[in-house]
Amino acid sequence: MAGLRSGNRLAALDGLRLLAALMVVFYHYVALAKPWGHDTGTIFPATRTAAQYGWLGVEVFFLISGFVICMSVWGRSLGDFAVSRVSRLFPAYWAGILLTTVVVKLWPEVDSFRGLDRVINNLAMLQSGSDAPDVDPVYWTLFVELKFYLIMVAVVWFGVTYRNCLILCGVWTAAAALAPGLGTPLLTAFAMPQYAPFFIAGIVFHLMRRHGQNAVLWALIAVQLVLAQRYIDYRMATSLGKAAASALPGWPARLIIVAGFALVGAIALGAFDRIQWKWLTTAGALTYPLYLIHLNIGTTLIHHFRNRVSAPVLVLAVTALMLVAAWLIHRFVERPAGKWLRNVMRKGVDDARRHMAPRRKPVRQPERPPVRISIPDDPRAVGSPARDEVERTITSSR
């Protein structure tokens, strides 16, 4: 299989990313009781059960992230990787924090403003590491992504190669599989057993895309698919609550995970290369800001208008409004602020490289002995002032 061409954007992957985002939106707007004030079984009798599996969009996000991050770090330095991630993540994130804070402050219907300290703690995206509350509950996934980036730093440091990526996948698989039994909190925190199979599978699928498929890569995919099934009951319980999770069958969740692996695998192998619809690229760009703003803002709107507008129309209207808001954030915040932040950080990285480069001491050249040019013997010139002057001139010029 031919290697991945530079600049060949995978539109199908953008489409899958949007589908994953809409799964999460569908889950929050239809399955959760909080925005409606009571259980949604009577409001959405035909779609509520399907919506209860929408949380799996997060797992699909992680699968796509493994693919995309491995693709984006190839051939880049550590500084380039840091610049790329910071300029990509933070502008929309800061806009999401600001917008969510304003809405929750003005209309505290599904959440309440809990002080400026909470907002400040969220600005660095590290609040989960210090057990500080999120401005919006969906931000927990961002800390998982940050830990994945930290793991990828090790590969970038040693060089992003096929061999090093395989080593990472093997070591990480072992750590994720053994961490729960070892009972080491630090190892468990960074191995991320619940989510590692999706990131690792994404990396492996990108290796297939770039270098072609083989038995070793497919074996790694099979192991990740098995490990991904290990925590389905746990994820259902944490997403829906133990009572609701116990009332639902687990096989649809397992089937969705298999479908996610199959779709990303098909994209990696080129099955959807002919799909190059431009709107999919725009749709892919909207998924991150949509994810950041849809929960607290969207559920606040649903709660506020739930008794005035029919439920299906309200869900569709709020979803459309969130997509428009996501486009505005992408167009007027992400793109200009991301470009500015990228340029500023690149300058800072370049300055750091210059200061960190070892200074070369000037090499002192050894003194050369005077060069004397002998003049052919001439009996008439021996000992003459003219001959002595020529020799002094030549010697001093050297």
For the chain, what are the domain ranges?
Answer: 11-356
Res. 113 pLDDT band, cuts 50 70 90: confident
Single pTM value for the model: 0.87
* Per-residue pLDDT tens over the stretch 29-83: 999 999 999 999 999 999 999 999 999 999 999 999 999 999 999 989 999 999 9
pLDDT at position 2 over 50: no
Average pLDDT, the chain: 90
* Per-residue pLDDT tens over the stretch 213-272: 999 999 999 999 999 999 999 999 999 999 999 999 999 999 999 999 999 999 999 999
User: Residue 236 carries which side chain, given as an amino acid letter?
Assistant: M
The pLDDT, as a whole number, for residue 6 is 38
pLDDT at position 383 over 70: no
pLDDT at position 303 over 80: yes
Cβ-count burial 191-224 (b if 16+ within 10 Å, e if not): bbbbbbbbbbbbbbbbbbbbeebeeebeebbebb
Alpha-carbon span 30 to 134, nearest angstrom:
22
CB count in 10 Å sphere of residue 170? 14
The pLDDT, as a whole number, for residue 353 is 82
